[in-house]
């Protein structure tokens, strides 16, 4: 089975540009999570969806960040305008509720560098 798919894998952009990150969750998973990881702050949850509906976006750092999930197989995280401090690895993860808890499966991540 295919795992979580993310694109692009690497993105280098200049400050002020719009950045769009994409994610395809594992088929059949009804939860989707966006994380950001930096050396300083570790792994931070930005937002998560259940059945395509945003449930908790309290981790979204500011209005420059937005996320959508138009259908069960696709989600985007957009940063507009981007800033150097947004440089990080952005992971998408998906899950479905099962006995024992909500283990999440991560995509390979998008390494973002904002110059």
Partner 1 sequence: RKEVEQDPGPFNVPEGATVAFNCTYSNSASQSFFWYRQDCRKEPKLLMSVYSSGNEDGRFTAQLNRASQYISLLIRDSKLSDSATYLCVVSPMDSSYKLIFGSGTRLLVRP
Nearest distance from residue 81's CB to partner 1, in Å? Answer: 27
Nearest approach, Cβ of 93 to partner 1 (angstroms)?
8
Q: Tell me: does residue 102 bind partner 1 (CB under 8 A).
A: yes
Cα-Cα-Cα-Cα torsion 97, 23, 20, 62, nearest 10 degrees, comes to 10
Binding residue for partner 1 (CB under 8 A) from 25, 46, 77, 109?
109
The two three-digit tokens of residue 84, written as one number: 């150097």
Q: Applying CB under 8 A, does 45 fall inside the site for partner 1?
A: yes
DSSP letter (8 states) at residue 26: P
d(CA 26, CA 32): 9
Q: Which is nearer to partner 1, 25 or 107 (CB)?
A: 107
């Amino acid at each position: 089975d295919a795992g979580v798919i993310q694109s692009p894998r690497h993105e280098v952009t200049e400050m002020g540009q719009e950045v769009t990150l994409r994610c395809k969750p594992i088929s059949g998973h009804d939860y989707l999570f966006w994380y950001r990881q930096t050396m300083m702050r570790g792994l931070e949850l930005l937002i998560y969806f259940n059945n395509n509906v945003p449930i908790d976006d309290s981790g979204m750092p500011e209005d420059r960040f937005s996320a959508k999930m138009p259908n069960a197989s696709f989600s985007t995280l957009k940063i507009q305008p981007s800033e150097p401090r947004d440089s990080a690895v952005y992971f998408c993860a998906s899950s479905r509720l099962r006995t024992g808890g909500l283990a999440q499966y991560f995509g390979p991540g998008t390494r973002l560098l904002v110059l």
